[in-house]
Structure 1
């Protein structure tokens, strides 16, 4: 698993028992429960609700001690879902998977599921102009603005309108794309039980579009995107990947890949995914 080489307790404490100049607010360490192999805490979570600016404020700890910030949101009355719900031992390593292989497999499964649960004509319309054959990866986005600055802006925009009571968390992980698998997040379990496979896709989006994992909820993922698609053709190609990655985004939100591409993607620096 792609975790930091130093335990979280070492990264967050010095010999005197304090934090190494991070100025962290009151918070606590979260450790996996059950029979998993991790004996060290998985992440640190602030006690209080995050305010705008929190994500950007603690982003420098990534370079200082190898911790990456992420917002964690309670939703639907679920109290602190991350306590007892994180199982990294069940995940493989994102580096073991190729993004295109993962997306092709998920595409074929999503198309098959659409065909099974819809009339033939409706299923064809939902994935048009594509067919059951995987269309391949979208081209990389244009020259991105600063991905970290974009991530901070998206995080601030999420607090309040999208996330009512997010907590700031810090996770020892080498790259943001690996964060969900590193903590053993199981939000998409009904779609993909091994989140490391989805993290392989996140790595590819990180490379092609300057994407960053900004927030996690019980079954939702929010990304910032520094180089989103601009043209209709670019958006359509990316929409096909999103359909494979999270069919609910398309079928329950926009009904078709074409509409999703037109309405949700062009120039949008915030990608959000949720799994039913």
Structure 2
């Protein structure tokens, strides 16, 4: 069963709470829905419950949170074709070069400076269960109130990394690019770190991580990728890769978040 057909089939079943199919974009309506969204606010266990319901239908659950203006991610969707041949290594290298050029003396990027260090290797040691890690982060985001008025949604995608591009999430547009190249990196993070897309706000992305870095060396390499992916996490946060790695990645932090504004 295709994702869109699975979405329509599930939307009318007793397996889902009351909700609605979303087929509107900033350019108008579409013939197939982009997602289904629940009418009522999400509970802490809804993400995990929806994962078990949706996987056989080729769908992926995601929590949608509002911003301070009351806007939700599904209010501004702009789907676009995913270009062929886009890979994480080349994408991150290109972004690193662009962002590093805006760091005059390279101090914040030590020990790498303007030189892209390449993809971080998967961390050593035991790897946690990605599904359990995702459920834990989803539960925390809802129960802590981190997400404003969250709603559980289902998207026609077989993996979380493809969700932003599948719905045309516009949260990355402040970077000058749509979600497709970011999806290439998310797929790589799924494979290397057991990362999963758990929640979207209008300009914030939340990931769970089953195999986060455990050592300072591992964390620094991952911090470089995070800076290339979203320089705001360093520039608006700790101010350097080393401090970001220490404060936001260690010890074994299982929740990564990124924002574009």
Q: Does the TM-score normalized on the shorter chain lie above 0.5? A: yes
Q: Aligned partners of 1:6 and 1:138: how far apart in 2?
A: 32
- Paired position in structure 1 for 2:254: 269
Contact 1:36 1:88 in 2 (8 A): no
- Paired position in structure 1 for 2:117: 135
- Paired position in structure 2 for 1:189: 173
1:50 counterpart (42, 46, 49): 42
- Paired position in structure 2 for 1:13: 9
- SS of the aligned residue for 1:205 comes to helix
1:149 offset after TM fit, Å? 0.7
1:217 offset after TM fit, Å? 0.4
State which drifts further: 27-36 or 131-140: 27-36
Contact 1:221 1:272 in 2 (8 A): yes
1:106 counterpart (77, 95, 99): 95
CA RMSD of superposed structures (Å): 1.9
- TM-score normalised over the length of structure 2: 0.93
- Paired position in structure 1 for 2:72: 80
Q: Aligned partners of 1:75 and 1:106: how far apart in 2?
A: 27
- TM-score normalised over the length of structure 1: 0.88
1:132-165 Cα distance to aligned partner (Å, 9 max, x none): 1111000112332110011000000111341132
1:76 offset after TM fit, Å? 1.5
1:195-231 Cα distance to aligned partner (Å, 9 max, x none): 1101100000000000000000010000000000000
- Structure 1's unaligned 5+ residue stretches are none
- Structure 2's unaligned 5+ residue stretches are none
State which drifts further: 48-57 or 188-197: 188-197
1:186 offset after TM fit, Å? 1.2
1:62-89 Cα distance to aligned partner (Å, 9 max, x none): 3321111000000122333412x11113
Q: 1:81 to 1:212 in 2, by over 3 A?
A: closer
1:97 counterpart (86, 89, 92): 86
1:125 aligns with 2:107: yes
